[in-house]
Structure 1
Amino acid sequence: MELKDRLKQARKHRKMSQARLSEATGLDQTTISNLETGKVLSTSKLVQIAHALDVDARWLATGAGSMLDAAISPDAELIDTEIIEGNEPLRADEVLLPLLREVEFSAGQGATQVIENHGAQERFSLPRLARAGVQPQNAALAVARGDSMMPAIHDGATLGIDKGCRSVIDGKIFVLDHGGMLRVKRLYRLPLNRLRVVSDNSVEYPEETYSLSDPDAPKVLGRVFWWENFD
């Protein structure tokens, strides 16, 4: 059985159309069609396809094992943290994500900026990304500081960020670059191109309002789709 046959078998088992698989993986529907007809023999997104179809990635890529070995059930229980520890090589269901951090522009200036990567990366679960509908190329991590989002997000919690979602969705949590400071807040749209910035710990951190045309307004870096929980 070739890749084209395994892909078609898995998609039909999942009862998913080519169009829906295209949405779930970010692949063009024509590419999926070409994979199923054998016009295209491989793709770098085989792992994402496997997780979207709830089949074993190794089976899909090579035919080894069986289709449902290590598959992720749609009803699988989510665990609190899915950052992968250790220095061993990446598994097929892991990806390295950049870590957003504050850094100084240059020594002595005292000014900071939020950058996507400064050599720092963390291993993260591809099934977690698939369940959240986040494409790996749009994903990043950050670390929450302070208690402004307590009790939902604790100080030191790792956050999963979807950089592909920067349009404000009322009540959702976003990561912001505010004058070089990395902030985590709930956002709400207001008339006249204004923005409410709200902390869950509103007693100690009153809400703020900004005009998006103001050069001092925070810049939305992405929506928080996951955060680490603590006991």
Structure 2
Amino acid sequence: MRKNTSGPRFKALLEAANISTTGFAKFWGTEAQNVHNWYTRGVPAYRMEEVSRLLSVNSEWLKTGEGTKESPQLHAPASNGDTFDAQSVGGIYTVTNPNDIDLPFFKETPLATGAGKTHVIQDPEQSIRLPRAHLEKLEVRPGDAICAHMIGNSMAEHIEDGSVVAIDRGLTQVVDGEIYAIEHDGMLRIKYLHRMPGNGLRLRSHNSAEHPDEIFRTAQIDEQRIHILGWVFWWSTLSKRRPVVPFL
């Protein structure tokens, strides 16, 4: 396995973009010291893809210094002849016609190392088609939109288990009472979020009878690798049962 030597490259990228350690930490929702540690220890493996996407570089180059620096691009021609560009790292979308967009699916899956650990990655075999008008109405950029499945009954009866949710990664700042997708130590979770004093975070379920509120302080957010993936702006819910037709 190739060694993670991303620290110096990560630091150089921030300096080239005139982004301070404090500024990047504030945007990322963590402490400046944690970002400073990445300069010597390297960007954590579970953050590599998203940091690469934010800085518009190839994740393998950031990690090892090998390969091309530039992030590979997807060029998807629309039916009207236009070309839409999107980063292929964490931001793929395909224009199927001028009115629809295919968005990538992300899922929670076990780490190769085992030990019961999971992480959230893109599933190349799945996508969901949404009307372009839905995204435009809510000012969601197509390259920031991804989809995932709701897992469990914590948001029932609002978002049922198995529903598809669409997530805007361009909105990670917490607006109290809005629904967000988060990655919590490798687990994909859908929750109402509320800010707490001292940069803490409250996670609230719609099904609060079975899933009480969870409160995390700043140190716990970093220790438990809680990262906001984005705002949930759309979801589909399948009916629990097919109606019984009488008199048949």
Both proteins in one fold, TM over 0.5: yes
Counterpart residue number, 1:223: 231
Q: What's the C-alpha RMSD, in Å, of the aligned pairs?
A: 2.6
Verify: 1:209 aligned to 2:215, yes or no.
Answer: yes
Structure 1 alignment gaps of length 5 or more: 1-43, 48-56, 62-88
Verify: 1:100 aligned to 2:106, yes or no.
Answer: yes
Structure 2 alignment gaps of length 5 or more: 1-74, 83-94, 240-248
Verify: 1:126 aligned to 2:132, yes or no.
Answer: yes
Q: Spell out the pairing of 1:77-88 with structure 2 (5 A cutoff).
A: none
TM-score normalised by structure 1 residue count: 0.59
Q: Which has the higher strand share?
A: 2
Q: Report the Cα offset of residue 169 of structure 1.
A: 0.5
Q: Report the Cα offset of residue 118 of structure 1.
A: 4.1
Higher radius of gyration, 1 or 2: 1
SS class of match (1:97): strand
Higher RCO (CA < 8 A, seq sep 6+): 1
1:210 touches 1:217 (CA, 8 Å); kept in 2?
A: no
Q: How far apart in 2 are the matches of 1:230 and 1:122? A: 15
Runs of 4+ displaced beyond 4 Å: none
Q: How far apart in 2 are the matches of 1:230 and 1:131? A: 24
Tell me the alpha carbon deviations over residues 53-88 of structure 1, each in whole angstroms, 9 at most, x when there is no partner: xxxx95x97xxxxxxxxxxxxxxxxxxxxxxxxxxx
**Matched pairs, number:** 151
Q: Report the Cα offset of residue 217 of structure 1.
A: 5.0
Q: How far apart in 2 are the matches of 1:217 and 1:191? A: 19
Tell me the alpha carbon deviations over residues 168-226 of structure 1, each in whole angstroms, 9 at most, x when there is no partner: 11000000101111000000001011111000100000000001332115211000011
Q: How far apart in 2 are the matches of 1:118 and 1:166? A: 24
Verify: 1:144 aligned to 2:153, yes or no.
Answer: no
Residues 206 and 227 (structure 1), Cα distance of their counterparts in 2 relative to 1, 3 Å cut: same
1:139 touches 1:160 (CA, 8 Å); kept in 2?
A: yes
Q: Tell me which of 195, 200, 213 is aligned to 2:201.
A: 195
Tell me the alpha carbon deviations over residues 114-147 of structure 1, each in whole angstroms, 9 at most, x when there is no partner: 1244443222221111122101000000110111
TM-score normalised by structure 2 residue count: 0.55
